[in-house]
Amino acid sequence: MDPATLGTLIPIVALCIPIVAIWTKHQQKLAEMNVKSTASDTAERAAQYASQVTALEDRVRVLERIVTDKGYDVAAQIEALRDQRRVDDESTGVSIESLRKERA
């Protein structure tokens, strides 16, 4: 390398070092900001999930109370509704036997 080229490269390299240092600090700050925003989003989601879990636990407690307190009554009511439905189904419409009697 000749002295003129070397004399030109030395100041260029000397100026590139601080530029690279500044760019590296900037990238580090961006990474830190990204981590902080991700952490806050994660904490917010965790709080939402916790509230949803609490609401679901409350609903399960209510259902457990319904089943344990009135378990037999509910089963009896369901069977009564089924029986009533069968009676209603049988009494609705016109039977084939009554149609045959009318035609004869």
State yes or no: pLDDT of 93 exceeds 60.
Answer: no
| Predicted structure pTM score | 0.39
Share of the chain above pLDDT 90, in %: 26
Average pLDDT, whole number, for the chain? Answer: 81
What's the rounded mean pLDDT across residues 52-58? Answer: 92
Express the helix, strand and coil content of the chain in percent, nearest 5 each.
95, 0, 5
What's the rounded mean pLDDT across residues 48-68? Answer: 87
Q: Which residue has the tokens 């600090």?
A: 25
What's the rounded mean pLDDT across residues 25-40? Answer: 90
**How is residue 1 annotated by DSSP?**
-
